[in-house]
Amino acid sequence: MAGNTRTGTGNDTVDTTTTISGLPIKPLYEPADLSGFDYERDLGRPGEFPFTRGVYPTMYRGRRWTMREFSGFGTAEQTNARFKYLISEGETGLSTAFDFPTLLGYDSDHPMALGEVGKLGVAIDSLRDMEILFDGIPLDQVTTSMTINAPAAILWAMYLVVAEKQGVPWDKVGGTIQNDILKEYIAQNTYVFPPEPSMRLIVDTFEFGTKHVPKWNTISVSGYHIREAGSTAVQELAFTLADGMEYVRWGIARGLDVDAFAPRLSFFFNAHNEFFEEIAKYRAARRIWAHVMRDEFGAKNARSWLCRFHTQTAGVSLTAQQPENNVVRVTLQALAAVLGGTQSLHTNSMDEALALPSEKAVRIALRTQQIIADESGVANTIDPLAGSYFVEALTNQMEAGAKDYFRRIDELGGVIPAIEKQFFQREIAEAAYRYQREVQAGRRVIVGVNRYQVDEPISIPLLQVDEAVQEAQIKRVQEVRRTRDNTEVRSRLAALRDAARGSGNLMYPILEAVRAYATLGEIMDTLREVFGEYHAPPVF
Amino acid sequence: MERKIRVLVAKPGLDSHDRGAKVVARALRDAGMEVIYTGLRQTPDQIAEAALQEDVDVVGISILSGAHRVLVPRIVERLRELGLSDVLVVVGGIIPPDDVPFLLERGVAAVFGPGSSTADIVAFIEEYVQKVRA
**Residue B1: band (very low, low, confident or very high) from pLDDT cuts 50, 70, 90:** low
ipTM of the complex: 0.95
Q: Tell me the Cα Rg of chain A.
A: 23
The Cα B22–Cα A406 span in angstroms is 26
Element (H, E) at A77: helix A76-88
User: Is residue A447 a contact partner of residue A326, using CB atoms and an 8 Å limit?
Assistant: no
Q: Encode pLDDT of A59-104 as tens digits.
A: 999 999 999 999 999 999 999 999 999 999 999 999 999 999 999 9
What are the distances in angstroms from CA A117 to CA A34, A391, A525, B15, B66? 53, 45, 18, 12, 9
The reported pLDDT for the residue numbered A12 is 56
Q: Please, what is the end-to-end C-alpha distance for chain A in angstroms?
A: 26
Judge whether B100 is closer than 8 Å to chain A, CB to CB: no
Strand ranges inside A63-218, DSSP E? 66-71, 93-97, 144-147, 175-177, 216-217
User: Is residue A31 a contact partner of residue A39, using CB atoms and an 8 Å limit?
Assistant: no
Strands A66-71 and A309-313: unpaired
Domain assignments of chain A as residue spans, ordered by start: 31-63+137-419, 474-531
> Which residues are CB-contacts of B63 (< 8 A; sequence separation ≥ 6)?
B11, B12, B13, B15, B71, B72, B91, B92, B93, B94, B95
Asked if B65 lies within 8 A of A119 by C-beta distance, the reply is: yes
Q: Which residues of A touch B113 (CB under 8 A)?
A: 320, 353
Scan residues 152-191 of A and list those with Cβ closer than 8 Å to B: 188-190
The reported pLDDT for the residue numbered A460 is 87
The Cα A425–Cα A411 span in angstroms is 17
Taking the CA atoms of residue B59, residue B63, residue B67 and residue B68 in that order, the dihedral angle to the nearest 10 degrees is: 50
Judge whether B93 is closer than 8 Å to chain A, CB to CB: no
3 state DSSP class of A58 = coil
Q: Which fold has domain A31-63+137-419?
A: TIM Barrel (3.20.20)
Judge whether B18 is closer than 8 Å to chain A, CB to CB: yes
Q: Encode pLDDT of A476-501 as tens digits.
A: 999 999 999 999 999 999 999 999 99
Q: What one-character DSSP code corresponds to residue B114? A: T
Does the pLDDT of residue A539 top 70, yes or no? Answer: yes
Asked if A114 lies within 8 A of B22 by C-beta distance, the reply is: no
The reported pLDDT for the residue numbered A467 is 86
Q: What one-character DSSP code corresponds to residue A357? A: P
Judge whether A36 is closer than 8 Å to chain B, CB to CB: no
Does the pLDDT of residue A251 top 50, yes or no? Answer: yes
Instruction: Tell me the sheet residues that pair with A93.
Output: A68
Judge whether A324 is closer than 8 Å to chain B, CB to CB: no
Domains of chain B as residue ranges with CATH: 8-133 (3.40.50.280)
Element (H, E) at A373: helix A359-374
**Closest by CA position to A434, among listed B26, B113, B61:** B26
CA distance A258 to chain B (A): 33
